[in-house]
Chains A and B, each alone.
Chain A
Amino acid sequence: MERIPILRMGEFLLVTIQVDMHDQLALTLQDDLAERISRTSARGVLIDISALDMVDSFIGRMINTISGLSKVMDAETVVVGMQPAVAITLVELGLYLPGVSTALNVERGMERLRERLDAQ
């Protein structure tokens, strides 16, 4: 079955979405991440969406859900690399992704996760 790889970097999990996802693939990623957070006791999840040229309400909902479920499992999620055209479209669509942390790039996303961890 087609899957989006989840890489482990110390206490963090790193996901880079590089394909045009169909809905089932997005749902599989959601389930896989929950399972990996639980198995690895990861403290943070970084999702790189810089290769996505579109985020519709379904993918937006997936991002929301991942963010919410990781919080419940004591991990932080940061979404990085959203393209400007995607951000404009999302807001116009009415999807503001409340509760989702974002950063401009992977470096700053990592910084954000480390800060959060240090603050605890």
Chain B
Amino acid sequence: MRPERTGSQPVRSEQDVVLARQVARKLAVECGLRLVDQTKLVTAASELARNTVIYGGGGDMDWEVVEEGSRKGLRLVFRDEGPGIADVKLAMTDGWTSGNGLGLGLTGTRRLVDEFSLESAPGVGTRVTICKWN
């Protein structure tokens, strides 16, 4: 049986953050990412899943195994319908924190992946997409 190419995982509690990490690890292995890249992707997923729970009030992680020629990669989308981020530019500044973390959540996460995009609107929600290629 051919493995699933896409799927979704609820991210609503602390336990879901652990589950999201485990799903990301399993998929990263399937995509043939080497160990360091698996670890980077899983760590990025953990950071974003926690943001979804804490700041977004819960949401989902959508995943997709992507292919481009002989390359394979894993794309993860973290989306919530929370309060959103008022100043995306500020949130992407190194060292910036809303108060609970170390101030490396989003900028640190961006360094761990190959592709990173953040869309957010106050009152609508936040959507962060990351991708890592093998």
Using a CB–CB distance below 8 Å, which chain A residues touch chain B?
Answer: 20-24, 53-58, 60-61, 83-86, 88-89, 92-95
Q: If A20-B22, A58-B50 touch, does A93 touch B43 (CB 8 Å cutoff)?
A: yes
Interface size on B, residues (CB 8 A): 27
Q: How many A-B residue pairs have CB under 8 A?
A: 72
A75 and B87 alpha carbons, distance in the complex (Å): 42
User: Smallest distance from the beta carbon of A60 to chain B beta carbons, Å?
Assistant: 7
Minimum distance in angstroms from B21 CB to a CB of chain A: 6
Q: Are A57 and B104 in contact (CB under 8 A)?
A: yes
- Chain A residue contacts of B107, Cβ below 8 A: 94
Is the CB–CB distance between B39 and A85 below 8 Å?
A: yes
A20 touches B112 (CB 8 A): no
Extra contacts besides A22-B17, A56-B47 (12): CB < 8 Å: A53-B39, A53-B42, A54-B21, A54-B43, A56-B43, A57-B104, A85-B35, A85-B39, A89-B40, A92-B40, A94-B94, A94-B111
Contact A60 B36 (CB under 8 A): no
